[in-house]
Amino acid sequence: MMKKRLFLLGAALVLALAAFVGCGEEKTLRNLPADFEYPVTYEDHTIDYTDSEGKEISLFGQICAPMEKGKFPAVILSHGFNGHYTDFPTECAAFAKRGYVCYAFDFCGAQSGGRSKGRTAADYTPFTMKEDLRAAVKDIKKLSNVDSSQIFLFGGSQGGFVTALTAADSDIKDQIAGIAMYFPALNIPDDWRGKPVQDTPLMGYSIGAKFIESVQELDPFILIGNFEKDVCIVWGDQDALVARKYIDNAVAAYGTERVDLTVIEGAGHGFGGAALNTATKKVLSFLEAHTYE
CA–CA dist 171, 148 (Å, integer): 15
26, pLDDT greater than 60 = no
* 78 pLDDT more than 60: yes
CATH number, domain containing residue 65: 3.40.50.1820
For residue range 82-103, what is the model confidence (pLDDT) as tens digits? 999 999 999 999 999 999 999 9
Q: Evaluate whether residue 92 is within a structural domain.
A: yes
Q: Give the type of residue at 235.
A: W
Q: Are 156 and 243 in contact (CB under 8 A)?
A: no
On whether residue 3 sits in a domain, the answer given is no
Q: Is residue 29 part of a domain?
A: no
Sign for the pseudo-dihedral over CA of 103, 75, 125, 272: negative
Element (H, E) at 247: helix 244-254
Residue 22 lies in a domain: no
CA distance 81 to 158: 6
Residue 24 has pLDDT above 70, yes or no: no
Look at the chain and report how many structural domains it folds into: 1
Report phi then psi at 234, rounded to 5.
-120, 130
More confident residue, 9 or 142: 142
DSSP character for 157?
T
Distance CA 45, CA 155 (A): 19
218 in a domain, yes or no? yes
- Which of 173, 181, 180, 175 has the alpha carbon at shortest distance from 150? 175
Nearest by Cα to 78 from 135, 32, 36: 135
Collapse the DSSP code of 293 into the 3-class scheme (helix H, G, I; strand E, B; otherwise coil) and give the result: coil
Dist CA 66 CA 147 (whole Å): 13
* Inside any domain, residue 149: yes
The parent domain of residue 277 ranges over 38-289
pLDDT confidence tier of residue 4, bands split at 50, 70 and 90? very low
Task: Please check whether residue 163 lies inside any domain of the structure.
Answer: yes
Name which of 279, 221, 277 is nearest 251 in CA terms.
221
The mean pLDDT value for 20-33 works out to 52
Q: Is residue 67 part of a domain?
A: yes
pLDDT in tens, 192-245: 999 999 999 999 999 999 999 999 999 999 999 999 999 999 999 999 999 999
In the chain, the amino acid numbered 273 is G
Q: What is the pLDDT of residue 259?
A: 98
**Predicted structure pTM score:** 0.90
